[in-house]
Structure 1
């Protein structure tokens, strides 16, 4: 007589099921890219019926956009830290801009590894401008970081700040994976590359 209530107690809620679909979609999109991924593959990875994806998301593009939108709190934290810099021309301002740029992303740790790979893939995809992700969820933030860099690093040639920002995006997103290190060295990878990454971005922005 108690079996039915026990099953109900552990039944997955629609919100939890939606999150599971998003988790699976994030990984599959990161592995295969937007065009090569099918909703059927995502349904299999999430262990749900294909119809359930259609219930939660009206299209593949809607699901893809939702994967990024779920992580938008990261960009909001980056902007909060950026806006907390009262004087972008102060000597320590560049270090704080770098921290605002990378620390909220790094804080995702392994939980956000697939997301960082997906951001890298989307940013490098020539067809990404056909989708709303970069233009709507990343470019407004990017323009504010570039504006801060122009204040912190005056006197640079035209285009420097924009390219410097994009180069840093590549370094930040790629740093989530150490897959290739085993092919390049016999030494074990360091436990953390965060401070090396911080020094790399800071030096590139300051001395580039």
Structure 2
């Protein structure tokens, strides 16, 4: 092998190693932030969990806040796109009459179930982290608004068409209640496990969304207009 080829191969190996270690740091941070919150974990603990030196974590991300931001932003675009794709699909399928409230709510929620049921545990950690952020007076407005408001407005617009007599105030309050139910589901606190004596489980994502979708749709109908589609 020529010297230049050897050097290029070595550089490629270094790049792969660095990317792999960077991803390991993100994965470890995602799991720990989801479990303990921002204040409950140190950068050194994250580095230890990732199997890297803390200096490497500092090199890639700087301070813990920058790492937290990187973790939260990493999967947001993919999650948003999957939900937007689901909305566009049902809008295309119901082009004449427009999608029903149930179909819109399902497009908003069902992609979350599918990500929670994947083999990648990182998605469950990420969605639990969303619950943590969404429930925080400090993080909620700053981070949720930045990454998710545009998507939410797309769904509000679709619901506005399905509920033409609804006031914007009612639509936003209904979304507020949807967000609360979703946050508790994403958090997987096991509260329902204890309350139901094991009859229901917070890890049963299909059951959670199967119940949440008609429940939320009925709430929108009741508050925003019983005669809507």
Q: Which residue pairs with 1:17 in the alignment? A: 21
Higher helix proportion, which one?
Answer: 2
86, 104, 112: which is aligned to 1:81? 86
CA distance in 2: counterparts of 1:68 and 1:53, whole angstroms: 16
Unaligned runs of 5+ in 2: 1-12, 224-229
Equivalence for 2:57: 53
The 3 A distance-change label for structure 1 pair 142 and 101 is same
Unaligned regions of 5+ residues in structure 1, if any? 1-8
Mapped pair 1:172 → 2:177: no
Report Cα offsets for 1:140-194 as digits up to 9, x if no partner.
1111111211111122244221122232223223224261123212243365423
Q: CA 1:116–1:173 in 2, change beyond 3 Å: closer, same or farther?
A: farther
Q: How many residues align?
A: 197
Report what 1:134 is aligned to: 144
Give, in whole Å, the separation in 2 of the partners of 1:40 and 1:184.
37
TM-superposition CA deviations, 1:19-53 (whole Å, max 9, x none): 22111111211222224432122222222211111
The answer to whether the 8 A contact 1:88-1:152 is kept is: no
Contact 1:82 1:97 in 2 (8 A): yes
Which residue is equivalent to 1:116?
127
Q: Which whole-Å CA distance do the structure 2 matches of 1:187 and 1:157 have between them?
A: 40
Asked whether the 8 Å contact 1:178–1:189 carries over to 2, the reply is no
Q: Distance in 1 between matches of 2:132 and 2:37?
A: 7
Answer whether contact 1:89 1:152 (CA < 8 A) is retained.
Answer: no
Specify the alignment match of 1:66 in structure 2: 70
- CA distance in 2: counterparts of 1:28 and 1:88, whole angstroms: 44
CA offset at residue 127 of structure 1?
1.0
Q: Distance in 2 between matches of 1:37 and 1:89?
A: 52
**Residue in 2 aligned with 1:189?**
200
TM-score when normalising by structure 1: 0.81
Report the Cα distance in structure 2 between the residues aligned to 1:201 and 1:130, rounded to whole angstroms: 23
| 1:6 corresponding residue in structure 2 | none
Instruction: Output the aligned Cα RMSD.
Output: 2.5
Contact 1:88–1:94, Cα closer than 8 Å, also in 2:
no
What is the TM-score normalised by the length of structure 2? 0.75
> Which entry has the higher C-alpha Rg, 1 or 2?
2
Secondary structure of residue in 1 paired with 2:138? helix
